[in-house]
């Protein structure tokens, strides 16, 4: 498992979200960029190589106030931007096991989930996992497949965070036993990921134009 695989997986997810919302991005060897402003909480650019510079990213995006850039290798120097947060790329190859988390495909159910997306990507590489009590979401997470990995993002829970991380990783491992899980986290979610068996791959920064 390499850092580059995790980075490309995340950029792929960002691109799927933007395409679903009528704003397709563009991939180069150095960065993924979106010409128009992306949905809330999604970056306008993601670097794909530590050699990427501001000159490889900024010309392809809207750099007005609110612009955000995922500096995947924490190597960019972006004048006029502020660091919104730092985080850690993580990976894990958990063992399959029993879990209350199941794949949710029903469009009506997906609309009630707390993912913050007006239009959800419909793609064979994307799976939504839910911990449901009838129609009530106790927790949810998004899994996107690319290359040989399974990307985990957007995890939320109304219950114990540690149990949620353990449950969702067991569910992914049961469904995709040959795929390492990758993603990035910070704060309490990163602490819960460590407890669930994840290991670090590298650091990243998210920059914001004030």
- The arithmetic mean of pLDDT across residues 177-197, rounded, is 97
User: How many Cα atoms occupy the beta-carbon half-sphere of 13 within 13 Å?
Assistant: 25
With a pLDDT cut of 90, the percent of the chain lying above it is: 86
To the nearest whole number, what is the mean pLDDT of the chain? 95
Residue 192 has pLDDT above 90, yes or no: yes
Task: Of 11-15, 25-29, 106-110, give the lowest mean pLDDT range.
Answer: 106-110
pLDDT confidence band for 116 (50 / 70 / 90): confident
pLDDT confidence band for 30 (50 / 70 / 90): very high
pLDDT confidence band for 1 (50 / 70 / 90): low
What is the model's pLDDT at position 57? 97
E strand intervals along 36-178: 45-47, 68-71, 82-92, 102-103, 126-133, 136-146, 149-157
81/83 Cα distance (integer angstroms): 7
Q: Which domains does the chain have, with CATH numbers?
A: 3-90 (no CATH), 91-199 (3.40.630.30)
């Amino acid at each position: 498992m390499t850092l580059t695989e995790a980075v490309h997986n995340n950029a792929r997810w960002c691109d799927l979200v933007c395409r679903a919302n009528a704003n397709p991005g563009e991939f180069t060897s150095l960065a993924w960029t979106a010409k128009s402003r992306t949905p809330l909480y999604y970056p306008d650019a993601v670097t794909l190589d530590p050699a990427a510079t501001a000159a490889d990213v900024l010309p392809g995006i809207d750099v007005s106030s609110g612009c955000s850039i995922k500096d995947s290798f924490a190597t960019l120097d972006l004048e006029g931007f502020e660091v919104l947060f730092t985080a850690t790329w993580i990976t894990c190859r958990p063992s399959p096991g029993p879990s209350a988390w199941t794949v949710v495909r029903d469009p009506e159910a997906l609309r009630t989930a707390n993912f913050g997306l007006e239009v959800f990507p419909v793609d064979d590489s994307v799976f939504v996992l839910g911990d449901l009590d009838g129609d009530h979401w106790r927790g949810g997470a998004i899994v996107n497949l690319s290359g040989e990995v399974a990307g985990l993002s957007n995890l939320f829970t109304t219950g114990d965070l540690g149990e949620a991380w353990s449950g969702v990783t067991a569910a992914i491992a049961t469904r995709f036993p040959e795929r390492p899980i990758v993603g990035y986290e910070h704060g309490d979610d990163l602490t819960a990921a460590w407890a669930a068996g994840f290991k670090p791959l590298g650091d990243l920064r998210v920059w914001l134009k004030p």
